[in-house]
A and B are shown apart, each in its own frame.
Chain A
Amino acid sequence: MKHTIYILVENHAGVLSKITGLFSRRAFNIESLAVGVTTDVNVSRITVVADGDEYVAEQIKKQLNKLIPVLEVKILKENSYISRELALIKVKSNTGNRIEIMKIAELMDAKVIDVSVNTITLQIADTVDNLETLTNLLKPYGIKEMVRTGTVAIEKGSNFAK
């Protein structure tokens, strides 16, 4: 089962390695990880998507809480949050299929951000499901390169991180 977890940490050098080190030594699998500063420059927010059962999720939370620079850990409940991921996808393309690919992009709410004689690069910021739909649609043309940010998530409604 996949869990989306956000972690607020003190914005110090070395904190990220403490977090990732903990995941690896406790044998917790990370599916994706995204880090960025929050409105408070001293605090960074890490979003982790991890795989494991309830026991693993509980352990992740407790072990993370033991790390001194960790300020808050929250495992987001299913359907209680909105998550997005950004991907940049470079696809093989030529004058023959360029319009076709642009149509797919339009359909999937992706943006064309670069074009060359034999490639076209798209940007999509959407749910992981839609990212996968887009990549499936682009596969037949030949995906040359893809880069993803990892999922970020925010709670719905008036709940917010401290």
Chain B
Amino acid sequence: MISGAEIMVKCLEQENVEILFGYPGAAICPFYDALMDSPIKHILVRQEQNSVHAASGYARSVSKPGVCVATSGPGATNLITGIATAYMDSIPIIAITGQVRSDLIGRDVFQEADITGACEPFVKHSYLVKNTEDLPRVFKEAFYIATTGRPGPVLIDVPVDIQTNKIDKFVYPKKADIPGYKPSVQGHIKQIEKSVALIQSASRPVICAGGGVLTSGSKLKLVEFATKTGIPVVSTMMGIGVMPTENPLYLGMLGSHGKGVANRAIHEADVIMLCGARVGDRAVASPDQLSAHSKIIHIDIDPAEIGKNVEVTVPIVGDMKNVINKINDTIGDYHVPHMWADTTERWKKELFRTAPRFEGCVEPRSFIAKLSEMLPNKSILVADVGQNQIWCANNFRIKEGRFLTTGGMGTMGYSVPAAVGAKFARPDREVVVVCGDGSFQMGMNELGTIAQNHLNVKIIIMRNDRLGMVRELQKNLYHQRYTATFLDEEAPDFMKIAEAYNIDSAYATSNEEAEKYAKQMIESDKSFVLVCRVSPDTPSI
């Protein structure tokens, strides 16, 4: 005989899960008990929301699904923001929640919450398991759904009696057979031919690469295609890292907070290739303008994204990897007209400008640019949300590493827990957090997880004692009527907080100091908190 809880653990083992991020409670105790007999590692986070962010950081760093666990009721509802974040950013997550006894569901008992109902808008799919026998099929399907097609979070809610009930034996299904779920990955060959013809006729083509390029693992193929054809590349925020920043073809991030050159290129293009990008409002504020002056090829695994935000000339539904391979094979010796290549290259040079400095402050944009030179090539930079995110997106010069941030949901407090997940995924790589003092205070409870596990995570806090991005909005759009954006002068003392967790720290008030401490920080094999004093008047762009 085998219990439901033991089956759950065995399912995770069958899926080669090595690590879980979670927080226990009464309704998930049978599972935790069974987990003790498994080699799967469990990392105790300090709040359930962070278990999803950690799983997200993990998933994005190793191209495997991240798994997080919480108990029923408040444990489960705390997951929601994390799940919604993963959904918007298309990250494969398996979220497991305990639930009250199945015969008590609907009676509002202690720690009961309808979590499958509450998460409905933010999950790719969810299960409320009603029979212990269903567990292997549910887990098989959940992993299949989360990791294929457009990835996303899948929630499995397991009542406590389903965990304790025993059945005869455990058989894990070889494959998931879901009649209503057949993602098309190949890309229609006729559409691909049309897109190739369109590119060949283009005089000012631009590639716009989104997060889908990274998710599908087609980054190198895309670079190969761009290099061969000389087509310049802009990226969305989620697409940062598709190409090294220094590549002459890469023009930077587009959008309201992006690089002028990227926006200029996309607005002057005659053919735009949207690759795994959904043309979100922050990337393209008025998509109608794009389709008015240019022809658009849209490649995406999710058919619902095509035509949602922008009118498309050639839609291609498929996995980026397959599609770009086929385009590469058939494009022949097309090369961008030299006029266009020279123009974009010239723009890129023109738009380099130096940022103003404030006395007694670190200039964050030039510091981040400098930091990227100092870090090893494959470092993972995790940016939070706010001005710090924009500073990083536009100034971090990525090489072979990753840039992790939440571009879709923009969830403050993402960076520290996501870095925890990234570090567990890639202990060999330098993992650096850049956050503001607002966002840090939303995720700093995870210093506990970092300290307890002796993780080597570097945290840079851009401190302006303000909620900088909202303040900037109030400055520019609300007649400088600043409200609720002041976080208190120099309080709390982040160095003391770091010290409480036995983590080294430093405080920098100039770029020279910041660079000096950054060097120390990078040389150290322990965690480090570097607080940078920045001016509230430093703009985002």
Contacts and interface: CB of A to CB of B under 8 A. Distances in A.
A59 B127 CA distance: 25
A63 interface: yes
A18 B120 contact: yes
A21 B121 contact: yes
Contacts of B128: 14
B304 A71 contact: no
Given A21-B120, A69-B180, A59 B145 contact: no
Interface in A52-97: 55, 58-59, 62-63, 65-71
A67 B180 contact: yes
Contacts of A21: 120-121
A71 B117 contact: no
Max chain B C-beta neighbours (<10 A), residue from A10, A68, A71? A68
Counting chain A residues whose Cβ lies within 8 A of the other chain, the interface size class is: 10 to 19
Nearest to A25: B121
A62 B117 CA distance: 22
Contacts of B179: 10, 71
A9 to B, nearest CB: 8
A17 interface: yes
Contacts of B180: 9-10, 67-71
B304 A59 contact: yes
Given A68-B145, A70-B180, A17 B117 contact: yes
B303 interface: yes
Interface string B171-184: 00000001111000
Interface string B94-123: 000000000000000000000011001100
B74 interface: no
B516 interface: no
A58 B307 contact: yes
Interface residues of B, number: 17
B41 interface: no
Contacts of A62: 303-304, 307-308
Nearest to A8: B180
A10 B178 CA distance: 10
Contact of B304 (A25, A63, A68): A63
Contacts of B181: 68
A65 B125 contact: no
Interface string A11-41: 0001001100100010000000000000000
B304 A14 contact: no
A48 to B, nearest CB: 17
Contacts of A55: 307
B133 interface: no
A66 B120 CA distance: 13
B120 A17 contact: yes
Given A10-B180, A71-B180, A66 B302 contact: yes
B152 to A, nearest CB: 10
A116 B515 CA distance: 91
B304 A65 contact: yes
B456 to A, nearest CB: 40
Contacts of A65: 303-304
Contacts of A14: 116, 128
Max chain A C-beta neighbours (<10 A), residue from B117, B121, B128, B179? B179
A150 B304 CA distance: 27
A93 to B, nearest CB: 43
B306 to A, nearest CB: 8
Nearest to B304: A62
Max chain B C-beta neighbours (<10 A), residue from A17, A63, A66, A67? A66
Contacts of A68: 124-125, 145, 178, 180-181
Contacts of B116: 14
Contacts of B145: 68
Contacts of B307: 55, 58, 62
Given A10-B179, A71-B179, A71-B180, A66 B117 contact: no
B538 to A, nearest CB: 37
A66 B302 CA distance: 8
Nearest to A42: B179
A66 B124 CA distance: 8
Contacts of B178: 68
Interface in A123-156: none
Contacts of A71: 179-180
A68 B176 CA distance: 13
A21 B125 CA distance: 13
Given A68-B180, A68-B181, A59 B117 contact: no
Contacts of B125: 68
26 contacts: A10-B179, A10-B180, A14-B116, A14-B128, A17-B117, A17-B120, A18-B120, A21-B120, A21-B121, A25-B121, A55-B307, A58-B307, A59-B308, A62-B304, A63-B304, A65-B303, A65-B304, A66-B302, A67-B180, A68-B125, A68-B145, A68-B178, A68-B180, A68-B181, A69-B180, A71-B179
Interface of A: 9-10, 14, 17-18, 21, 25, 55, 58-59, 62-63, 65-71
